[in-house]
Structure 1
Amino acid sequence: MTTTGEALISLLEAHGVDTVFGIPGVHTIELYRGLARSKIRHVTPRHEQGAGFMADGYARVSGKPGVAFVITGPGLTNTITAMAQARADSIPMLVISGVNKRDSLGKGLGFLHELPDQRGMMEKVALSSERIDEPAALAGAMARAFALLSSGRPGPVHIEIPTDVMGLPAGDVTFAPVRDRPATPDSAGIARAAKLAAAAKSPVILAGGGAKRAEAALHRLAELLDAPVVTTANARGLLHGHPLGVHASPSLKSVRALMAQADFIIAAGTEFGPTDYDMYADGGFAAPANLVRIDIDATQLARWPAAVAIEADASTAIEALLAVLPTGKKSGGAARAVAARDAAWQEIGPAMQDQVKVIETIRDALPGAIIVGDSTQPVYAGNLFYDHDRPGGWFNAATGFGALGYGPPAAVGAALADPSAPVVCLSGDGGFQFTFPEMGAALDAGAAVIFVVWNNRGYREIETSMLDAGVEPVGVSPAPPDFCRIADAYHMPAERLMSTESLPAALARARSLGKSCLIEIMVA
């Protein structure tokens, strides 16, 4: 007899899932019945929030949905923060949870882990939430979940299974394959965009996270139009080292000036979110004229007016545009790009320039690395100005939802998704204290993560903001522990640096170990 829990594992395998992140509990035991016999790897975090962040990091690097198993009640509420981060950054994540038995739901009887309306709560965060009230509903719910995760604008999806359904006979479970049918760009919209592009004398391209897998097409488009390409934080790595690349935030005045001087802009895969376009909340960003927007989500397209709105995957739309554009022309793109880059570098100032140089040191010491950031000073600086050498290899939680503690678990997920790449978690001492127990999960899973802790002994970015606002700083100096001794307690190699001058050698030593280790940088 195949139970519903066993059928779930079979369906996950059929949908291409090879890794799940979760902490088993009495409310999910039946979901684990078939897991040990499957080809799916189970990774145990130290907290359910870590399960969600690991699934997030895994999804960003692998391009496949990250999957988390959590118990009902507190397990699921602990995962909500990670789901909200995934929702903000359009990351495909499937969260499968238990829920109490069917005849108890909504009655307030005081069962263990009981919530008044668990699925109602999840519907506020997830793209969808379904309950499996009978075994026959499982296959259809899974098919719908993976359809949402693989088409349109992705995000977190939730499925809950009551404890009294998990062990029921599943009967014949038919796998329904997901047929990904990406939207075909409207030919009339492509023609209008091409006409505007052909007439432009100073075009600019804006690339967001939705374009991070469209580098080849974006590269050709930029050169055809001779257009500078401004990349948001989640698009860093596109056009690395290219003369037309402007790896600087559109929140900077210098980059806004480049956009204001353009007579035509193509925006691909960017939602124009304030954490990218108005980070300082000064209201200085305005929607450009002659704007062509490319986005996979019609709802997103409706939020910003555009001369032409094209609903399609970024790569598909750009390829369609390339097919009808005339031969290339010159518009002084390289000169405009270098002027914007130089002005942006000066605008961020010496302190942030020094922090960007730290990130560049990591990049140059570990070519092709995946740098997973938390909300810490060098990450903020890098989001303002930094040119990574791998598309999709720079991501963090300092934009969008902004969940502190994201870095360590997300880096574990990233390392498991691509074991061949160097993976660096760049975290501050404050944020690292949120989730540093996930070092243990990295060791358990054999994930090689270099944990780099920027130790300035507190929440310095918040302290600076309080001082700038004329508020006496309070609560911004949580005492950090001895991180090297904590690493030693996990039997993890660690070293402390008193300056960044010795960072390249430390990174080389860390990479040569082939396993997780910690580097603490003491900041004066």
Structure 2
Amino acid sequence: MTQASSPTRVTVGELAARFLEQCGVKAAFGVISIHNMPILDAFNTRQKIRFVSARGEAGACNMADAYARVTGVMGVCVTSTGTGAGNAAGALVEALTAGTPMLHLTGQIESDYLDRDLGFIHEAPAQLAMLQAVGKAAFRIRNPETALATLREAHRLAFTAPCGPVSIEIPIDIQAMLLDLPADLAPLFVAPVQAASSEVDALAAQLLTAKRPLLWLGGGARGARAAVERFVKMGWGVVTSVQGRGILAEDHPASLGSYNLQKPAEELYQSCDAMLVVGSRLRSNETLRYKLRLPKALYRIDANALAHNRGYNSDYFVQGDALATLNALADKLEGRMKVDAALAGDVKKARDQAAGMVDATLGAYAALKNGLATQAGKDLWWVRDITLSNSMWGNRAPMLDHPRAGVHALGGGIGQGLAMSIGTAIADTEHKLGRKTVALIGDGGFMLNVGELACAVQEKANIVMLVMNDSCYGVIKNIQDDIYGSRHCYVDLHTPDFAQFCASLKVTHFRLGEPAQTQDVLAKAFAASGPVVVEVDMKAWGPFAAKFAGPILKKD
């Protein structure tokens, strides 16, 4: 039984709630259970943190992940023990892949019965080991006296580069125990990694003579926009990974956007004499499995020392925070470089050519891409699931102007976009960010976690969901065409009548049956409030002009 808190004595559950408030958390996500009620009771009693009741722990974790990506504040997911914690595992892998600072609070059975192999209901053998395997770290709070220290350390680790999710399991009896309210509940300060000044000097010396330099920006550089703009003023060009989109507004003439794979981009790289990669892993699917030809002189800045020579060899590597290190480097270079004045024009030309090549693959779907850009403008959160349309165009368009505007399933798992869009919309509301959440989701991924649509309705989440309905796993079907002699198996999907399904949940639904309807339907969808499903009937629209059959590989 949970003991009543007082002004000076609080339960461990309330301590956790108060600590999260001090971290700036305004919303948390999860599923209530008998093994997390002291925490959620404190949320409800204090009314400082909005708790969003997801329909499953996987969805809750994806919501918390997206919330953190959009706000920069720690995402919080609360689950039950055993199966509940296990349900969150895949979403924790996604957060780990994306480097999202998150706290996963899960329950545990009573301490007296823990780890005794008694078959106690809701216990999962080696739960802590499982959580350590799918996150950055995992802890167990064993008594009230260590609760605050554990919470602080989890927060510190979550925000220490490379960032990631940290789990804490708290036995239900510990959650309900009382302790004196600490005078100071503030999280520990996480200092940015400071680059050695001698290393910055050495890097500056190597870059000083570059005439056609490029910055490649990844997700680790999302906080470095001000410093990036200093390099752009010096004449540098910018290209980004998908995770780094919007660090420099993508309509800036110096931005190649994330058109990093197309032939015009590679040709541009070969005309450049230096590339500085900042906060990016140069992932396989964005470098043609590390065979994309980058400039011969390749330099890197990363807060993670293990990034040196990973994927590509570095001519020089500096470990440091992106913003601080780029600013220090700019101090050494401003007014001293003589960058080729033609570079900016060459970047824009390469971008226009690459974008044209992408558009040529879309066929009728160019109307959807262009219609969305017209209707949404740049004031949107662009959330995407792993679906054919995202691979074809969503990872590169529409143009983004905010370093946190793009949210996508970086790890490649389907079915996460719906929940991520809910977390994004809640973040926008609670932090008063003023952007529209738009989600691009395939019908297969949509159905995987479709129960979260009920959560979206309950929470009045303002989302326009573009559900690309081809009644199959489109990418897999294309791979079967390409490699398996068009032997199609296990890819065709039975989908509901989405109009009737949405009506049963009181979700506004529009069917987009032909390209000519795009502007009218999108205008109505954006004018509506709450969750809106725009079902794009891909069977009526027809195929893309080109087939996408998995990540592009280098052709010798």
TM-score higher than 0.5: yes
Give, in angstroms, the shift of residue 318 of structure 1. Answer: 1.4
Shift of 1:446: 2.0
Summarize deviations over 1:289-312 as a string: whole Å, max 9, x none. 322211122233363532222222
Task: Summarize the Cα distance change of 1:495–1:176 in structure 2 as closer, same or farther, 3 Å threshold.
Answer: closer
Letter in 2 for 1:394: G
Establish whether residue 379 from structure 1 lines up as the match of residue 386 from structure 2. Answer: no
Tell me whether 1:423 sits opposite 2:433 in the alignment. Answer: no
Structure 2 residue aligned with 1:250: 260
More divergent stretch after superposition (201-210 vs 242-251): 242-251
- The CA deviation string for residues 140-176 of structure 1, in whole angstroms up to 9 with x for no partner, is 0111111122332211110000122111222343524
Assess if the C-alpha contact under 8 Å between 1:198 and 1:326 holds in 2. Answer: no
Instruction: Work out the CA distance in 1 between the residues paired with 2:475 and 2:135.
Output: 31
Please give the residue correspondences for 1:81-480 in structure 2 after superposition, counting only pairs within 5 Å.
81-173=90-182, 174-224=184-234, 226-237=235-246, 238-278=248-288, 281=289, 284-285=291-292, 288-301=295-308, 303=310, 304-327=312-335, 329-331=338-340, 332-345=342-355, 347-348=357-358, 350-352=360-362, 355=365, 358-367=368-377, 368-382=379-393, 385-386=396-397, 388-391=399-402, 392-397=404-409, 399=410, 401-419=411-429, 420-471=434-485, 472-480=487-495
1:17 equivalent in alignment to 2:32: no
One-letter amino acid of the structure 1 residue matched with residue 488 of structure 2: P
C-alpha separation in 1, matches of 2:258 and 2:11: 53
Contact residue 96 and residue 159 of structure 1 kept, 8 A: yes
2:548 is matched with none
Contact 1:266–1:291 (8 Å) recurs in 2? yes
Amino acid at match of 1:171: D
Q: Does 1:28 align with 2:43?
A: no
1:55 aligned partner: 64
Structure 1: where are the runs of 5+ without partners? Answer: none
**Which range is displaced more, 4-13 or 114-123?**
4-13
Partner Cα separation in structure 2 for residue 340 and residue 383 of structure 1:
19
Q: Which amino acid aligns with 2:317?
A: A
For 1:246, what is the secondary structure of its paired residue?
coil
Q: Are 1:498 and 2:513 an aligned pair?
A: yes
Whether the 8 Å contact between 1:356 and 1:385 is mirrored in structure 2 is no
Summarize deviations over 1:303-340 as a string: whole Å, max 9, x none: 35322222222222211111111425332212321342
- What is the rounded CA distance, in whole Å, between the counterparts of 2:194 and 2:367 in structure 1? 42
Deviations 1:411-431 (A, max 9, x none): 111111113211111101111
Residues 98-120 of structure 1: CA distance to partner in whole angstroms, max 9, x if unpaired? 11222333332212222211111
Per-residue deviation, 1:346: 5.0
Residues 186, 521 of structure 1: CA spacing in aligned structure 2 closer, same or farther, 3 A cutoff? Answer: same
Range 484-493 or range 25-34, more displaced = 25-34
Tell me if the contact between 1:500 and 1:521 (Cα under 8 Å) persists in the aligned partners.
no
What is the CA distance between 1:55 and its match in structure 2? 0.4
Aligned counterparts of 1:318 and 1:352: Cα–Cα separation in 2: 38
Single out whichever of 46-55 and 148-157 deviates more from structure 2.
148-157
Partner SS, residue 363 of structure 1: helix
CA contact (8 A) 1:353 1:381 kept: no
- 1:465 maps to a residue whose letter is I
SS at match of 2:481: helix
Q: Report the Cα distance in structure 1 between the residues aligned to 2:452 and 2:249, rounded to whole angstroms.
A: 33
Distance 1:115 1:326, change over 3 A: same
- Any unmatched runs of 5+ in structure 2? 543-556
Tell me the equivalent position of 1:79: 88
Alpha-carbon offset, residue 286 of structure 1: 5.6
Q: Which moved more, 1:511-520 or 1:449-458?
A: 511-520
Letter in 2 for 1:207: L
Name the SS for the 1:271 alignment partner: coil
Report if aligned partners of 2:210, 2:339 keep a CA contact under 8 Å in 1.
Answer: no
- Partner amino acid for 1:395? V
CA distance in 2, matches of 1:406, 1:310: 35
- Residues of 1 paired with 2:479 and 2:278: CA distance? 32
Give 1:341 deviation, angstroms.
2.0
> Separation in 2 of the partners of 1:485 and 1:66?
34
> 2:422·2:456 contact (CA, 8 Å) conserved in 1?
yes
Post-superposition shift, 1:249? 4.0
Q: One-letter code of the match for 2:241?
A: T
Aligned partner of residue 158 in structure 1, secondary structure: strand
Structure 2 residue 533 is matched with structure 1 residue 518: yes
Alignment partner of 1:123: what SS?
A: helix
Q: How big is the shift at 1:356?
A: 5.6
* Letter paired with 1:381: M
User: How far apart, CA to CA, are the structure 2 residues paired with 1:13 and 1:345?
Assistant: 44
SS in 1 for 2:188: coil
Cα displacement string for residues 34-64 of structure 1 (whole angstroms, at most 9, x for unaligned residues): 2211111110111110100100111111111
Q: What TM-score do the two structures reach when normalised by structure 2?
A: 0.88
SS at match of 2:520: helix
Residue 69 to residue 418, structure 1, CA distance change in 2 (3 Å): same
Q: Which residue of 1 aligns with 2:546?
A: none
Do the aligned partners of 2:19 and 2:186 also contact (CA within 8 Å) in 1?
no
* Overall identity of the aligned pairs, in %: 28
Query: Structure 1: how far apart are the matches of 2:369 and 2:150?
Result: 43
CA 1:356 to 1:73, structure 2 compared with 1: closer, same or farther past 3 Å?
farther
Closer/same/farther in 2, CA of residues 206 and 426 from structure 1, 3 Å limit: same
Please report how far the alpha carbon of residue 25 of structure 1 lies from its aligned counterpart in structure 2 after TM superposition: 0.8
Query: Aligned partners of 2:519, 2:243: CA distance in 1, in Å?
Result: 25
Residue 245 of structure 1 deviates from its aligned partner by 1.0
The residue identity in structure 2 corresponding to 1:457 is S
Question: How far apart, CA to CA, are the structure 2 residues paired with 1:108 and 1:260?
Answer: 61
CA apart distance, 1:94: 0.7
Q: How far apart are residue 29 of structure 1 and its match? A: 1.9
**Greater Cα offset, 358-367 or 461-470:** 358-367
Residues 234 and 185 (structure 1), Cα distance of their counterparts in 2 relative to 1, 3 Å cut: same
Please identify, of 112-121 and 130-139, the stretch whose mean Cα deviation from structure 2 is larger: 112-121
Cα distance in structure 2, aligned partners of 1:355 and 1:236: 22
> 1:52, 1:519 → 2: CA distance?
25
- Per-residue deviation, 1:402: 1.1
